[in-house]
Amino acid sequence: MKQLITLTLFLLTFTAFAQKPCEYSANVTDSIGTYKVTNEYLINEKNFGGTFSYIFFSLAQTDGLPTLNLQLIQKSKDFIKANCFDKNSKIFLQLENGKIVTLIHIDSERCGTLIRDDKGFDNRVNTGIFMFMKDNYEELKKSPVSIMRIKYLTNIEDYIVKNELVSEMNGKTFQPSTYLMQNIRCVE
């Protein structure tokens, strides 16, 4: 009987800490190289006064180089200020253990695309690709993220990264603070 209880406890503990399999939106290997990217994941959502803002992360690996893809979507009937990325743009992630991880933008200037939809909303979609710094990459596996600071071309914005986020957009529940801890292994 004692062995049965021990085995049951072991199996419950094992399933509780088991990592979920990586899900990719693209996983390609050809003569040019390899490329895989995880599904987009909601990190921040802000709805205020008819203006909507969403930040999505996905992790990518191109020929062994892991990167973070950030997609910023803004939606409003009013004027939308462009938040541009340039060669000096960075993402600073403050971890719950107090350490700060810096990611560097790899592309030239990008201000996104402005699209007007049939309901009269202007939608700005901007994407940035950021490289991990070698010296603090391992820290992302150890601690959740608490604050994210994005340095754009002309301004800096801070975002609180929640432990749990229930999206007003689709009602789904996300865990943004632990996204990197749980998924960075998918691009190693």
* pLDDT, mean of each 10-residue run, the chain (188 residues): 46 49 87 90 93 95 91 92 92 96 90 89 94 86 96 95 93 96 92
Give the pLDDT score at 169. Answer: 86
Q: What's the Cα-to-Cα distance from 60 to each of 8, 17, 75, 109, 132, rounded to whole Å?
A: 38, 24, 26, 20, 11
Residue 137 counted as domain residue: yes
Give the pLDDT score at 87. Answer: 93
Per-position DSSP letters for 2-44, written without gaps between them: HHHHHHHHHHHHHHHHPPPPP-EEEEEE-SS-EEEEEPPEEEE
Residue 42 counted as domain residue: yes
Residue 13 counted as domain residue: no
Give the pLDDT score at 19. Answer: 64
Residue 93 domain boundaries:
24-187
Q: How far is CA 162 from the centre of its chain?
A: 12
Give the pLDDT score at 49. Answer: 86
Residue 19 counted as domain residue: no
Q: What is the tally of structural domains in the chain?
A: 1
Give the pLDDT score at 139. Answer: 92
Q: What's the Cα-to-Cα distance from 151 to each of 58, 100, 135, 147, rounded to whole Å?
A: 19, 14, 20, 13
Phi and psi at residue 15, to the nearest 5° = -70, -30
Residue 7 counted as domain residue: no
Residue 161 counted as domain residue: yes
Q: What is the pTM of this model?
A: 0.85
Give the pLDDT score at 2. Answer: 52
Residue 117 counted as domain residue: yes
β-bridge partners, 26: 37
Check: CB of residue 92 under 8 Å from CB of residue 101: yes
Residue 116 counted as domain residue: yes
Q: Is 135 left (phi over 0), alpha (psi -120 to 50) or beta?
A: alpha
Greatest pairwise CA separation for the chain in angstroms? 69
